[in-house]
Amino acid sequence: MTGAGTATASPPPGTAGARPASGGSTWVTLITGDRVRVDGKGKVTGFDHADGRVGISVQRYTEGGHTYVVPHDARRLIAEGKLDRRLFDITELSRPESRQAHRDGLRLIVAYGGSAGPNARKAVRAADGTELNRSLKSLNADVVTSTPELWGTLTKGGGQARSAASGISRIWLDGMRRATLEKSTGQIGAPKAWQSGFQGKGVKIAVLDTGIDADHPDLKGRVIAAQNFSQSPDTKDRVGHGTHVASTAAGSGARSNGTHRGVAPQAEILNGKVLSDHGAGSDSGIIAGMEWAVAQGADIVNLSLGGRDTSDIDPLEAHINKVSAETGVLFAVAAGNAGPNAIDSPGSADGAFTVGAVDAQDKLAPFSSTGPRVGGGRIKPDVAAPGVDISAAAAAGTVSPGDTGYTTMSGTSMATPHVAGAAALLKQQHPGWKAKELKNALASSAKDVGHNPHEQGTGRIAVDRAVTQTVVPEESSLDFGTQQWPHTDDTPVSNKITYRNSGTADIALDLAVTGYGPGNQPAPAGFFTLGTNRITVPAGGTASVDLTADTRRGSDDGHYAAAVVAFGGGQTVRSTAAIEREVESYDVAFKHIGRDGKPSTHFTSTLLPLAINAAPSFVESSSGDLTVRMPKGEYVLDAQAPVDATKPASGLDVLLQPKLLIDKAQSVTLDARRAKPVKLTVPDRKAVLGAGMMEYTRTGAAGRSVGVFYDVVSFDALHIAHVGPQITDGSLHQVWAGNWRKNARTEYNAASGGVVKKVATGYERDFKAAEFAAVKVGIGASAKGKKGTVEPTAHFEGSHWGMVGFSIPRPLPDTRTMYVSTGDKAKWNFYVGQNTEDPDGSYVIDVMMDSQPRTYRVGKAHQETFNTAVFGPKIDERSGFWRLGGHLFAMMPQFADGQGHTGSSSIESAKTTLYRNGVKIGESADELTSGTYLPIGREAGQFKLTTSVLRDVTMARVSSRIDAEWAFSAGAATADEEVMLPVSTVRFADARVGLDSTAPAGATQSIALQIQGAAAKGNVKSLTAHASYDGGKTWRKLTVTNSKATVKNPAKGKSIALRARVTDKQGGSHQVTVYDAFFGK
């Protein structure tokens, strides 16, 4: 089970998938060194192989709403569990928080093992450009910032056939996680436990969160140690989440004269800040925080945080499983706030004590994540606790001035510290108890609140029962595993529930079991049975009962759960069990035959699920034969065999079966001799192929799609064949494309594609001169010594890749002619880069921009101009400001060019500040193009966000500084859904400047003031513009007519600064100031 991309454990901030990935196109670098291009909507639009990797095929598929892009040589490592599939999760890697975390290079957690482990550690640390961030003793791992070259150190073998290097046991992404009382303490019975003398005295609770306001009266003197593991400068809580959690677990209630007392008010608190002032933290930082907490003597660790879970074991899960078993420390972990079938990691860990949320009436909170967890198995959550409208301490500066010192939050984040505090009360009562005993006591004494075990675990905790209950099961949750389909011949399976009585008198227990099936329906009669309905547990001894699951009963396949209750002697003892009745599945036997007619040892096949939400199955065998078991369903089968597995450019045989229906046991023979050659040509036979590609996509139900991208240095190296039935429903698309260079200034870009019934078996296409439109592409630059690239990309309906053109870097400014094919309704856009050449000859991207896809006509003059003044903020469908509960997420390109092309730009520094009712409430050094989170609170108010961004003049002389501010009003946040806020921008559009962003000195021109956002479409109240010719010291008001400002160009060699201000009819406003907007010549 792998956590990635982290949801919050206090809902949300927001539904991350609803926001665009960034304000413009960006490149995501994989661990292999290959790069994936992603547009502002998060869609994969291109792929660029690292040096020496051309010819290695790439798969793209979606799983759980996430897009994965996996090079062929990584597939075996993923299948073996050596390589974290999150390293190829483009949806996650392209999100702003991930991009910020990995901006200096992809951060990895590399675990070592075996006798070769020490040498592997030395090799990793010595690799060129690799930076050691920290070591994690619990995992025998290093956290490193990698370079593309590290792939060759972590793996061995050539070309398509790679395996983990000796001594490397696991390679994980250092992923990102986010932070996910008076009535609630009474709800779980804490006051009765206090009356019995248990308030957590002598027990240490580690709160690993956003920090703690140790000066709050409820927490003053309670925090005995603090350490910072986040990217923020200190352990202060500027979010409010950690303070709220800490006071719920162990606050004294001093500020409220005891009214808002925490569950364990005498427990000691360890403040481990693992989440930054934006509420996000890395896997490695969280693990380091857990290691520190254990070293400090923590008895209980509270983790009100989480992220997306998959079927692999991620580093947080691995750490919790290992350390909890070895040390006995209890890890109380939030289940998450994503609702049904969405347990977060690390709450998905076997060793975690996972907590769901209920409201004050013990109704399940609608946001509370429920099971079954990914991969099935053990019941999650383990228990539930109050997590709706919980009042607890507010960190200074996170709520409005004049506040009471308390604030109300909801989420499984709030439920979890109730459990941590309850565990502290039990730990005080039983100092020798470890995690297992604490879990069993809390789970077995929980109150049934009427929900399925996959929703509530054993129930809502009742610590008053836990401190008095003497009968406890030795395992509060049993896992019966999976029974293989078909089920008519299943054998019933049994497990013992053993009860231990720590009391002085025998206790007779009556027992009952309730079964639950898929869809929260009752299990069939007889599915779960007990060996007896009554047992007697002797004083100081144990007694057992058999629980049996008979999966022959009923007809519904899926996950089943049992709630077992034993009652007697004034006690009620609860436990749970889970079993999976495997869905209809079949064995598929693969036989791989190479081009030479012999069994292939290098043939690899992938089954990509089309109709079910599951990960792909990678099929590889050293003998050519292999049998796999797959759920019934429709799959896309992609099979490939390199002519020489150690040499990617040696040639590739590809067999594609767009529809493989697995509804019975079957054999599949894949014979490379069926594949036929490919040939594509352009009119100028002297033009040389720079890059070629073939891509196919099959779209299934609910938009789920899978596809594979193959690129080649020569089409002659590719042989291809269709296997299986035709696809007649229009769901299969295939694209062929190539980039041919006549010289450095003239390029042919040819593509054909669309809906097909069969993937081509062999392919030949001769593109004619009459099919090409000429496009003159101008690339500007205002600084010297820059080089530029242009990469055209073709788009066809149903295609997910388009095509990345090969581009030769040329000195800027530059104009080049691009010939693009016009057949098959092709649309083209251009990705333009301004680059700086490093001393070693490699290129660093300064600026990247893209245009919107459009059609071009043969014989018509087409002109596209990029990277010229005036640059400034832009709002489109991909950008804006969102309120996410108590957070603001702001994302807006700051350097859209004069023609409105968006993208990204290197910057020297940025500062963004948020005010509420004139008081500063948040600050960030993040630039808005990539997005920033700021705490906004839940109160209504008048807000103002200001930002200032500086660019190095050696990178760009124009728009060297941009200052912008937005003023807007917002009501109270009554829910945790995303709300787009009413903000606007003014762009200085279509200024008449050259490719060097200069204009004739002293001449006059009209510059359009283009309004976007809330003030657009007739909602403008006022619009003004000013200019400065002395760097902003003095300003002159400009004449504005019909949204155009009359501007006198600056003197030769001098620059002009421009300022515009717009106010909308609702009172919102925006002002932007662009320094060095353009120069005179």
Contact criterion met (CB below 8 Å) for 972 and 939: yes
Neighbouring-strand partners of residue 546: 496
DSSP 345: B
C-alpha torsion angle, residues 927, 933, 937, 938 (rounded to 10): 120
CA pair distance 848, 24, nearest whole angstrom? 9
Catalytic residue flag (residue 413): yes
Cite the DSSP H helix spans in 512-622.
none
Catalytic residue flag (residue 209): yes
Q: Per the residue annotation, which of 413, 960, 984, 997 is the catalytic one?
A: 413
Residue 456: Cβ within 10 Å count: 28
CA pair distance 782, 478, nearest whole angstrom? 67
DSSP 447: B
Contact criterion met (CB below 8 Å) for 830 and 820: no
For β-strands 66-71 and 732-743, DSSP reports them as unpaired
CA pair distance 1041, 1064, nearest whole angstrom? 18
CA pair distance 263, 194, nearest whole angstrom? 9
Residues listed for the chain: 1081
Contact criterion met (CB below 8 Å) for 820 and 793: no
Catalytic residue flag (residue 1026): no
CA pair distance 478, 749, nearest whole angstrom? 61
930: Cα separation from own chain's centroid: 15
What are the distances in angstroms from CA 741 to CA 575, 689, 690? Answer: 70, 6, 7
CA pair distance 145, 162, nearest whole angstrom? 22
DSSP 112: E
Contact criterion met (CB below 8 Å) for 11 and 673: no
Contact criterion met (CB below 8 Å) for 760 and 719: no
Q: Where does residue 281 rank: exposed (0-12), middle (13-18), buried (19+ CB within 10 A)?
A: buried
CA pair distance 133, 130, nearest whole angstrom? 10
DSSP 854: B
CA pair distance 703, 686, nearest whole angstrom? 42
Query: What proportions of the chain, in percent to the nearest 5, are helix, strand and coil?
Result: 15, 45, 45
**Among candidate residues 196, 200, 328, 185, the one with its CA nearest the CA of residue 259:** 185
Contact criterion met (CB below 8 Å) for 373 and 348: yes
Helix H or strand E segment including 118: helix 117-126
Contact criterion met (CB below 8 Å) for 938 and 884: no
Q: Per the residue annotation, which of 72, 102, 216, 241 is the catalytic one?
A: 241
Cite the DSSP H helix spans in 668-734.
none
**Among candidate residues 840, 832, 837, the one with its CA nearest the CA of residue 778:** 832
Residue 1005: Cβ within 10 Å count: 16
Structure tokens belonging to residue 91: 């949806």
Write the CB contacts of 503 (distance below 8 Å, at least 6 apart in sequence): 470, 471, 539, 540
Q: Per the residue annotation, which of 209, 309, 344, 846 is the catalytic one?
A: 209
435-444 and 412-429 helices, crossing angle to 10°: 110
**Among candidate residues 1011, 989, 983, 965, the one with its CA nearest the CA of residue 1077:** 989
- The angle at the Cα of 658, spanning 655 to 663, to the nearest 5 degrees, equals 110
- What residues are annotated to the active site? 209, 241, 413
